[in-house]
Amino acid sequence: MSAKLQVSSHPLVKHKLSLLRDSATDHRKFRELSRELALLLCYEATQDLALTPTTVATPMGEAAGWEASELIGLVPILRAGLGLVDGIQELLPNVQVWHIGLYRDEETLRPVEYYNKLPAAPTVQVCLVLDPMLATGGSAIATVDILKRWGAQRIKFVGILAAPEGVEALANAHPDVSIHVAELDERLNEIGFIVPGLGDAGDRMFGT
Query: Catalytic residue positions?
Result: 104, 108, 200, 203
Q: Minimum distance between the CB of residue 79 and ligand PRP, rounded to whole angstroms?
A: 3
- Residue pair 88/95 in contact (Cβ under 8 Å)? The answer is yes
Q: Which is nearer to ligand PRP, 55 or 208 (CB)?
A: 208
Q: Which is nearer to ligand PRP, 39 or 78 (CB)?
A: 78
Q: Minimum distance between the CB of residue 22 and ligand PRP, rounded to whole angstroms?
A: 19
Q: Which stretch binds ligand PRP (CB under 6 A): 12-20, 22-30, 104-112, 119-127?
A: 104-112
| Nearest alpha carbon to residue 111 among 79, 82, 72, 150 | 79
Beta bridge partners of 65: 54
| Nearest alpha carbon to residue 121 among 142, 90, 152 | 152
Residue 109 touching ligand PRP (CB under 6 A): yes
Residue 199 touching ligand PRP (CB under 6 A): no
Backbone angles phi, psi at 69, to 5 degrees: -100, -5
Amino acid at 169: A
Per CB under 6 A, the list member of 79, 156, 174, 180 interacting with ligand PRP is: 79
Q: Which is nearer to ligand PRP, 13 or 134 (CB)?
A: 134
Q: Minimum distance between the CB of residue 166 and ligand PRP, rounded to whole angstroms?
A: 5
What Rg do the C-alpha atoms of the chain give, in angstroms? 17
**Residue at shortest CB range from ligand PRP:** 202
**DSSP letter assigned to residue 155:** E
Residue 77 touching ligand PRP (CB under 6 A): yes
Residue 36 touching ligand PRP (CB under 6 A): no
Q: To the nearest 10°, report the CA torsion of 140, 144, 146, 152.
A: 150
DSSP-derived pairing of the beta strands 111-116 and 154-158: unpaired
**DSSP letter assigned to residue 80:** G
| Nearest alpha carbon to residue 197 among 183, 208, 181, 178 | 183
Residue 174 touching ligand PRP (CB under 6 A): no
Residue 103 touching ligand PRP (CB under 6 A): yes
Range 130-149, binding ligand PRP (CB under 6 A) = 131-140
**Residues touching ligand PRP: how many (CB under 6 A)?**
22
Q: Alpha-carbon distance 197 to 24, whole Å? A: 14
Residues that bind ligand PRP (CB under 6 A): 77-80, 103-104, 109, 111, 131-140, 166, 192, 201-202
